[in-house]
Structure 1
Amino acid sequence: MLVEAGDDGSLAALVLGVDDVAATERLLQRRGLEGDASGFDVGGLRWRLAPFVPGEGSDLALDHVVVRTGDPERAAADHGARLGLELRLDRRLEEHGFRGLFFRCGDAVVEVVAPTKGVDGPDVFGGIAWRTRDLEATRERLVGAGVEVSEVRVGRKPGTRVATVRDPALGTPTLLIQQPA
């Protein structure tokens, strides 16, 4: 899974890397999604298809994308049954005021977040997280390039460390994550 930026730098689309673009396009159309490989509408968000290309060993890899929805049942059907992503966890976090649906997509996750109090409207991209093997080095490289990045801190998931990219040009909340060794 990759991401596509819009003209303003914000997250515009998710790109699924697939082995056979034409066959996947036909499958998604049979599952009731409207569009083609250049763009399928999933809950108001754009998903594209592209040939899968193995990673080149970059320091940054997509960890997860956050999608905010007002309709978790529809989102579960769209991401699970229609896109064919594996639902790994469905958890209600009442203390935080939301329900989280976590779908596996290759080595990344699509995290669908639904407030416990319903919200109308289409789904929206709520954020993106990049995984790095060396958080300090990645942070220093970005800061050296003029990007505003927070100090490294303990992440919510046990054993992780994170830093927030605060560059307004991104247009989408962005997090850097280092998993435990």
Structure 2
Amino acid sequence: MRITGFVIETPDTAAAQDAWRRLGTTDRDVRFTPGEGGLVAVVLGVEDVTATARLLQRRGLVGDAGGFDVGGLEWRLAPFVPGAGDTTDLALDHVVVHTGDAERAAADHGARLGLDLRLDRRLEEHGFRGLFFRCGDAVVEIAASTKGADGPDRFGGLAWRTGDLDESRARLAAEGLDVSEVRPGRKPGTRVATVRERTLGTPTLLIEQG
């Protein structure tokens, strides 16, 4: 199971397509649909869509081969094609999901969807709890408040990994994208920058590992 793509709801599909082209994350398939929702679905590549759909139904998720409801969010299934996509300076690092119920989200994404929980991290000084699930070559980060905040699950954005943040930032700036200054990341040893391009349809972060 691997994250192979995303669905973006946007009021201007042409502008969104152009922004994603300039971002240059061509190793993932991004589909666009009219609307205002931004990132509305994550696509999982699997070897056997029918068998995976049957298994997820047996685990209690509602849906079919076209897509499943996971905590109120849509996760779609698609055939996984090894080696699909081009190599660029950006690779998917993680997808963020915000939740008001960390325990339910852990069950949904781990026991039901079948992702591998690698870390349950609490930062009490920031009121943050993060559940980090491995999904192929990327991570699904479930972000929850430790202060009892409630609300429905929602996709919180995408983070893209780069081996040279300064070079990637310069490339995107040359492409006309609005990119913040480089700053230290929350994880020790990392550096990050925010791509502040609204037409991408979702919060977008660049991250360089130490």
TM-score (norm 2): 0.79
Unpaired segments ≥5 residues, structure 1 = none
2:6 is the counterpart of 1:3: yes
Q: Which moved more, 1:35-44 or 1:73-82?
A: 35-44
Which residues of 2 match residues 58-73 of structure 1 at below 5 A?
58-73=88-103
SS at match of 1:6: strand
The whole-number CA distance in structure 2 between the counterparts of 1:114 and 1:151 is 27
Q: Show the counterpart of 1:81.
A: 111
Q: Which moved more, 1:162-171 or 1:82-91?
A: 162-171
Which residues of 2 match residues 109-128 of structure 1 at below 5 A?
109-128=139-158
Residue 34 of structure 1, CA deviation = 0.8
Unpaired segments ≥5 residues, structure 2 = 17-37
Q: Show the counterpart of 2:55.
A: 27
**Residue type of the partner of 2:175?**
A
**Residue type of the partner of 1:41?**
D
Residue 109 of structure 1, CA deviation = 0.7
The whole-number CA distance in structure 2 between the counterparts of 1:5 and 1:84 is 24
SS at match of 2:10: coil
Is contact 2:69-2:75 (8 Å) kept?
yes
Q: Which moved more, 1:71-80 or 1:44-53?
A: 44-53
Which residues of 2 match residues 78-157 of structure 1 at below 5 A?
78-157=108-187
Q: Show the counterpart of 1:56.
A: 86
Residue 133 of structure 1, CA deviation = 2.3
**Equivalences, count:** 180
Q: Show the counterpart of 1:13.
A: 41
**Residue type of the partner of 1:103?**
F
Q: Show the counterpart of 1:39.
A: 67
Q: What is the root-mean-square deviation of aligned Cα atoms in Å?
A: 1.6
1:72-96 per-residue CA deviation (whole Å, 9 max, x = no partner) reads 1110000000011011111221111
**Residue type of the partner of 2:109?**
H
**Residue type of the partner of 2:53?**
E
Is contact 2:9-2:201 (8 Å) kept?
no
TM-score (norm 1): 0.91
The whole-number CA distance in structure 1 between the counterparts of 2:93 and 2:183 is 17
Residue 97 of structure 1, CA deviation = 0.6
